[in-house]
Amino acid sequence: MFKFYSKIHISKKEILALLMRLILLVLISLLITLYIFYEVKNLTTIKHVVLETQQENTSYTEEITISSPGKLFDEISSLVKTPLSLFYFNVCLQNYREAEGPNGEKLPVLMNVEINDTYSHLIKFNEKRIVAKEVRGTEIGSLLITRSFEIEDKNFSATNTKPLKGSFYQISIWPTLTSFLSLYFIIGIPLAYTILLLINACYRFILFGEPFISKM
């Protein structure tokens, strides 16, 4: 009868090196995932900025980066569009819209927002809010967004004010926690590991000529 004994002895230095490599892998994976979603956010942000207003207070000129979520998808490449459709996102709205009163005073503007017939409560000036939750990437392009404005100060109405030049609101998307973690484990970690392998291979080649120089 044979008995096999195995002893594994790992020094503190080796444990520390292992932990450092693990932390490096986690950090690089996180940076890759954040970079991907920040790029998606930048590519899909719709911004409405007031360029000028008419004296009649009945009309104004507004610059729109992308006019609708549908056009948004036409503007981005399929390399972004394809993975985008696999995940779920929250739709966020930031309100920085102001109006000018009869005496030139600045008045905060409240926003009513409705997305696909789902109403979101009044969004205050300088407020960021999630107006639609867990929207699949394939459905973002077909979102129907309607909005209306009202003056926060009840002493003023829309008829005796006008939109303030330079004020704006913007709509953007950000992944749900589940989608973020999915991309982190499916793409972030494997890609980070590949990058570390390439760095290690370059390091060994520069210092030792491996694997092109034989040690024998």
Residue 45: phi and psi, rounded to 5, are -80, 130
**Residue pLDDT, tens place only, 64-103:** 766 666 666 666 666 666 767 788 999 899 999 988 888 8
Specify the pLDDT at position 154. Answer: 81
**Residue pLDDT, tens place only, 130-153:** 888 888 887 877 778 888 888 888
Specify the pLDDT at position 136. Answer: 87
Torsion, CA 197, CA 198, CA 204, CA 205, rounded to 10: 150
Q: What is the mean pLDDT of the chain?
A: 80
**pTM (two decimals):** 0.72
* Interatomic CA distance for residues 160 and 158, integer angstroms: 6
Our separate counts of H helices and E strands in the chain read 6, 10
* Interatomic CA distance for residues 35 and 207, integer angstroms: 32
Q: Which of 159, 146, 170, 171 is nearest to 99 (CA)?
A: 159
- Residue 149: how many other CB atoms lie within 10 Å: 15
